[in-house]
Amino acid sequence: MPKMTFIQPDGTRLEVEAPEGLSVLEIAHRNKVELEGACEGSLACSTCHIVVAQEWYDKLKPASEDEEDMLDLAFGLTSTSRLGCQIIFSQDLDGLVVNVPAATRNMAVDKK
């Protein structure tokens, strides 16, 4: 089974099994990684924002224009930021490393 690693905001590394065909968001939730995903992966928020390790970023399919638009709303955006709901795990990503940001910005909640 392929694996991936989540680096928690406190620096703790969590290596987990990563079934092919699931999104990074789904893999996080299966493994109790605190990655919000308020819109449940429908590309309507930025709460599943992750920071992909530099050595993995160019191995991902490019972000869509819709993902780029949502990323503009993410807290702590970096040059290797992506939305976890938009990265579908495959064998090619075996070993993927992502950082979970310390905070998220949920626009639906923040506007209240």
pLDDT category at 104 given cuts 50, 70, 90 is low
Q: pLDDT tens digit string along 7-23? A: 999 999 999 999 999 99
pLDDT for 102: 85
- What the chain holds in terms of domains, given with CATH numbers, is 3-106 (3.10.20.30)
**pTM of the full predicted structure?**
0.90
Q: pLDDT tens digit string along 25-37? A: 999 999 999 999 9
What does the longest C-alpha to C-alpha distance in the chain come to?
Answer: 43
Query: What are the strands, taking DSSP E only, across 1-108?
Result: 3-7, 13-17, 49-52, 81-83, 96-99
Q: Report how far residue 33's alpha carbon sits from residue 60's, in angstroms, rounded to the nearest whole number.
A: 21
